[in-house]
Amino acid sequence: MAEIIMREAIARGLREALDKDERAFIMGEDVGAYQGAYAVTKGFFEKYGPERVRDTPIAEGVMVGAGVGAAMAGQRPIVEIMTINFLLLGIDQVVNHAAKLRYMSNGQLEVPLIIRTVTGGGAQLAATHSQSFEGWFASVPGIKVAIPSDPYDALGLFRSALDERDPVIFAEHALLYGFKGEVPDAPYKVPFGQAAVKREGKDITLVAYGRMVHVAQNAAKLFAEMGKQAEVIDVRTLRPLDLDTIVKSVKKTNRCIVVEEVWETGGFGSWIAQSVQEAAFDDLDGPVGHVGGLDVPAPYNGVLEAAAIPDAKRVLQKAKELFGM
């Protein structure tokens, strides 16, 4: 089985989409001649041409709106928004149009639109370029949100996104593009709404998504040094959310902490914690914990930025506070 980095896995998924379906096309800022701000579409403009790899003006509302219209007309648009921070400029098109058209038309209209975008901090890109809004979008009915943590999931989830009749926000963490992992040559898909147990354990369940899965894995290694076994759950998609796998794990470990990068206040992980609390209350040895980012704008200074993002030590500190571990 070959090892590839996440950027290559996503690029493979994009090539498959364009090769298999002549209705598919990519559009976004700098996706063509510049080959992508994060080089995911490197070589695409030369291979597929300007009709199928379209550079757009800096106008996110127009990009998403054009994608919605194209999807309604039977095309399979893949819109790249350079960062999820800029998707705020297209949020009306996402929330009030893409998410609702199938429902409001009683199924007469569909919006099979994929919005690829970069999320997360840690790259010293400062307060307006380092945010994590995938949880906001996951709170809107009608939208599906995928956020892979490794190359295998990135390719498998993207293939599943191509099958969707509803709009999908495909959030890619900026610091994971170079992360390497095994990806089989044989075709496979990762279904939406199916979480993965990335590490088995019996003493505590750590729930995470995106880059925080790796923070949870690091915390699990520290727990192991203490003689404790942590189970790490990667939810893979925020909507649909596979609550069953999480609850099954918590009923085994009796303890749970949800880890996410977004601000502590109002994080999507808080909703996961609430859901676990309701579903597994009688099996819990303490409250469900939540570790999120500090409630501050992302600092530009690297030391300060790192201090604002959850790490393994903060996960252990939370476990000590809640469970005396």
Active site residues: 60, 129
Give the Å distances, CA to CA, from 122 to 160, 286, 302. 28, 31, 8
Please list, residue by residue across 245-265, b when 16 or more beta carbons sit within 10 angstroms of its beta carbon and e when fewer do: bbbbbbbebbbbbbbbbbbee
Coil, strand, or helix at residue 151? Answer: helix
Residue 17 · residue 76 · CB < 8 Å: yes
Give the integer Cα–Cα distance in Å for 188 and 205: 28
Are 295 and 264 in contact by the 8 Å Cβ rule? The answer is yes
Q: Which helix (H) or strand (E) holds 275?
A: helix 268-280
